[in-house]
Amino acid sequence: MPEYTLTAQSPLNGAEETIGDVKIAEQRFEIVSIAVPQGGGDRLSAALDRAFGLRLPVAGGSVRSADGSLNLLWTAPDQCLLLAGDRSIDFDREAEAALDGAGYVTLQSDNWAVIALSGGDCRRVLERLTMIDTGAEQFPVGSVARSLMRHLGVILTRTGDDSYLLLSAASSALSFWEDVRHAAQAVAALKALTSG
Amino acid sequence: MTGTNRIPGGLIDRDKPLGFTFNGRAFQGFAGDTLASALIANGQRLIGRSFKYHRPRGIFTAGPEEPNALVELRTGASQEPNTRATTTELFEGLNARSQNHRGSLKYDIMAVNDLFARFLSAGFYYKTFMWPKSFWERVYEPIIRASAGLGRLSMQADPDHYDKGFLHCDVLIIGAGPAGLQAALSAGRAGVRVILADEDFRMGGRLNAERCEVAGTGGATWAAAAVAELESMGNVRLMTRTTVYGVFDHGIYGALERNTDHLPDAAGAPRQTLWRIYAGRSVLATGATERSVAFGNNDRPGVMLAGAVRAYVNRYGATPGRRVAVFTNNDDGWRTARDLRAHGIEIAAVIDSRTDTAPNPFPEVKTLFGEAVAETCGRGGLREIITTGGKRISADCLAVSGGWTPNLHLTCHLGGKPVWRDDLAAFVPGNALPPGMRVAGAAAGQMTLARCLQEGDAAGRAVAEDLGRAAPAANVPKATDEPAGITALWQVKGARGRCWVDLQNDVTTKDITLSHREGFRSVEHLKRYTTLGMATDQGKTSNLPGLALMAEASGKTIPETGTTTFRPPYVPVAIGAFGAGAKGAGFKPVRLTPSHEWARDRGAVFTEAGQWLRAQWYPQPGETDWRTSANREAQTTRNAVGICDVTTLGKIDIKGRDAAAFLNLVYTNGFAKLPVGKVRYGLMLREDGIVYDDGTTSRLGENHFVMTTTTANAGLVYQRLEFARQCLAAHLDVHLISVTDGWAQFAVAGPESRALLQKIVDAGHDISNAAFPYMACGEMTVCGGIRARLFRISFSGELAYEIAVPARYGDSMIRALIAAGEPFGVAPYGTEALGIMRIEKGHPVAAELTGQTTARMLGMARMVSDKKDCIGNVLSRRPEMTAPGQPRLMGFRPVDRAQMLTAGAHFIARGAEAVTENDQGWMTSVAWSPALGHSVGLGFIARGEDRIGEVVRAWDGLRKTDIEVEIVSAHFVDPEGERLRA
Confidence band of B580 (pLDDT split at 50, 70, 90):
very high
- Do residue A193 and residue B267 have CB atoms under 8 angstroms apart? yes
Taking only the tens place, the pLDDT of each residue in B750-797 is 999 999 999 999 999 999 999 999 999 999 999 999 999 999 999 999
Chain B residues touching A178 at Cβ < 8 A = 585-586
The per-residue pLDDT for B148 is: 75
Three-state SS string over B554-616 comes to HCCCHHHHCCCCCCCCCCCCCHHHHCCCCCHHHHCCCEECCCHHHHHHCCCEEEEECCEEEEE
The verdict on residue A1 lying in a domain is: no
Measure the CA–CA gap between B413 and B248, rounded to whole angstroms. Answer: 7
pLDDT at B127: 82
Name which of A78, A109, A127 is nearest B166 (Cβ-Cβ): A127
Q: What are phi and psi of B530, to 5 degrees?
A: -90, -15
Confidence band (pLDDT; 50, 70, 90) for B922?
very high
Among A157-171, B161-175, B552-566, B929-943, the least confident range: B552-566
Provide the CA B705 distance to its chain's centre, in angstroms. 42
Q: Which residue in B263, B762, B787 is closest to A2 by CB distance?
A: B762
CB atoms within 10 A of CB B76: 9
pLDDT digits (tens, 9 = 90+) for B284-341: 999 999 999 999 999 999 999 999 999 999 999 999 999 999 999 999 999 999 999 9
Q: Give the count of Cβ contacts less than 8 A between chain A and B.
A: 159
Contact A109 B742 (CB under 8 A): yes
Chain B partners within 8 Å of A37 (Cβ):
656-657, 733
Q: How far is CA B48 from the centre of its chain?
A: 31
Neighboring chain A residues of B600 at a CB cutoff of 8 Å: none
Neighbours of B190 (CB within 10 A): 21
Average pLDDT of chain B to the nearest whole number: 95
**Residue B52 pLDDT more than 80?**
yes
A1 chain-B contacts, CB cut-off 8 A: 784
Q: B600 CB near a chain A CB, below 8 Å?
A: no
Distance from CA of A16 to the nearest CA of B (A): 19
Picking from B95, B62, B92, B102, the residue whose alpha carbon sits closest to that of residue B80 is B95
Task: Give a yes or no: residue A27 inside a domain.
Answer: yes
Contacts of B254 in chain A (CB under 8 A): none
User: What average pLDDT does range B48-63 have in this prediction?
Assistant: 94
Provide, as residue numbers in chain B, all residues whose Cβ is less than 8 Å from the Cβ of A171.
Answer: 591-593, 612, 647, 740-741
Q: Report helix angle A41-52 to A91-99, nearest 10.
A: 120
Q: What is the mean pLDDT of residues B50-74?
A: 95
Residue A9 lies in a domain: no
Nearest to A131 among B166, B269, B653 (CB): B166
B154 in helix, strand or coil? Answer: coil
Option in A6, A104, A185 nearest B783 (CB)? A6
Gyration radius from chain A CA atoms? 18
CATH number at residue A168: 3.30.1360.120
Q: Which of B525, B528, B496 is nearest to B510 (CA)?
A: B496
Which CA distances in Å does B572 have to A15, A128, B257, B666? Answer: 40, 22, 13, 51
Domain assignment present for A10: no
Residue of B161, B467, B648, B733 to mutate, testing the A interface (most A Cβ within 10 Å of its Cβ): B733
Residues 48-67 in A contacting B (C-alpha not used; CB under 8 Å): none
Chain A residues with beta carbon closer than 8 angstroms to that of B651: none
pLDDT-derived band of residue B2, with 50, 70 and 90 as boundaries? low
Q: Which residues contact B323 (CB under 8 A, 6 or more apart)?
A: B346, B347, B348, B394, B395, B396, B397
Residues 150-189 in A contacting B (C-alpha not used; CB under 8 Å):
150-152, 169-172, 174-176, 178-179, 182-183, 185-186, 189
Measured between CA atoms, how close is A108 to chain B, in angstroms?
6
Rounded CA-CA distance B503/B536 in Å is: 11
Residues 80 to 139 of A: which have CB under 8 A from any B CB?
Answer: 89-90, 104, 106-112, 127-128, 130-133, 135, 138
Asked if the structure places residue A46 within a domain, the reply is yes
Give the minimum alpha-carbon distance from A66 to chain B in angstroms, rounded to a whole number.
28
Share of chain B above pLDDT 90, in %: 89
Residue A104 lies in a domain: yes
Looking at the structure of chain A, the number of domains it has is: 1
In this complex, do B267 and A189 lie within 8 Å of one another by their Cβ atoms?
yes
Rg (CA), chain B: 38
pLDDT at B143 over 90: no
Is B741 within 8 Å of A171 when comparing Cβ atoms? yes
Residue A6: closest C-alpha in chain B: B812
pLDDT average, residue stretch B513-528: 91
Which of 278-307 (B) contact A at CB < 8 A? 278
B168 touches chain A (CB under 8 A): yes
Domains, chain B, ordered by start: 1-154 (3.10.20.440), 163-288+406-466 (3.50.50.60), 292-402 (3.50.50.60), 497-574 (1.10.10.1100), 649-739+853-881 (3.30.70.1400), 884-982 (2.40.30.110)
**What are residue A114's DSSP bridge partners?**
A167
The C-alpha of A93 sits at a distance from chain B's nearest C-alpha, in angstroms, of 11
Q: B733 and A38: CB-CB below 8 Å?
A: yes
Interface test with B, best of A43, A171, A180 (most B CBs within 10 A): A171
Does the pLDDT of residue B930 top 80, yes or no? yes
Question: Is the distance from CB of B890 to CB of B970 less than 8 angstroms?
Answer: yes
Tell me the nearest-neighbour CA distance from B28 into chain A, angstroms.
24
Q: Calculate the average pLDDT of chain A.
A: 96
Mean local confidence (pLDDT), B702-718 = 96
Q: Is B592 within 8 Å of A35 when comparing Cβ atoms?
A: no
Could you say which of B276, B653, B655 has the minimum Cβ distance to residue A131? B276
Percent of chain A with pLDDT over 70: 99
Which residues from A are below 8 Å from B166, CB to CB? 127-128, 130-132
B808 vs A8: CB contact, 8 Å cut-off?
Answer: yes
- B139 or A188: which carries more pLDDT confidence? A188
A92 to chain B: nearest residue by CA?
A: B787
Contact B515, B526 (CB under 8 A): yes
3-state DSSP helix/strand/coil percent for chain A, to nearest 5? 30, 35, 40
pLDDT, tens digit, 9 for 90 and up, residues B637-679: 999 999 999 999 999 999 999 999 999 999 999 999 999 999 9
Predicted local confidence at residue B116, as pLDDT: 82
| Closest residue of chain B to A187, computed from CA coordinates | B269
Distance (Å) from the alpha carbon of B168 to chain A's nearest alpha carbon: 6
**Quick one: B586 exposed, middle or buried, by C-beta within 10 A (0-12, 13-18, 19+)?**
middle
The residue of chain A with its CA nearest to that of B263 is: A193
pLDDT tens for each residue of B387-444: 999 999 999 999 999 999 999 999 999 999 999 999 999 999 999 999 999 999 999 9
Q: Provide the shortest C-alpha distance from residue B611 to chain A (in Å).
A: 9
What is the average pLDDT across A159-181?
Answer: 97
* Contact flag A35-B168 (C-beta cutoff 8 Å): no
Partner residue facing B589 (CB), from A35, A175, A193:
A175
| Distance from the A90 Cα atom to the nearest Cα atom in chain B, whole angstroms | 8
The chain B residue lying nearest A177, using CA atoms, is B589
Q: Does B419 touch chain A (CB under 8 A)?
A: no
Q: Do the chains contact at A151 and B589, CB–CB below 8 Å?
A: yes
ipTM of the complex: 0.98
Q: What local confidence, expressed as pLDDT, does residue B862 receive?
A: 93
Decide if A142 is inside a domain.
yes
Burial class (CB within 10 angstroms; exposed 0-12, middle 13-18, buried 19+) of B138 = exposed
Average pLDDT over residues B824-850: 96
Q: Is the residue at A7 inside a domain?
A: no
Phi-psi region of B479 (alpha: psi -120 to 50; beta: other; left: phi over 0): beta
Show the domain range for A42.
16-195
Amino acid identity, position B365: V
Among candidate residues B227, B263, B258, B261, the one with its CA nearest the CA of residue B241? B258
Entry field: residues in chain A: 196
Bridging pattern class, strands A163-169 and A152-160: antiparallel
Q: What is the pLDDT of residue B847?
A: 94
What would the mean pLDDT of B688-702 be, rounded to a whole number?
A: 95
Nearest CA in chain A to B270: A186
Minimal-distance CA residue of chain B relative to A33: B737
Q: pLDDT band for position B1 (50/70/90)? A: very low
The answer to whether residue A6 neighbours chain B at the CB level (below 8 Å) is yes
Mention every residue, 6+ apart, whose C-beta is less than 8 A from residue B270: A186, A189, A190, B160, B161, B162, B163, B259, B260, B580
The answer to whether B738 contacts chain A (CB < 8 Å) is yes
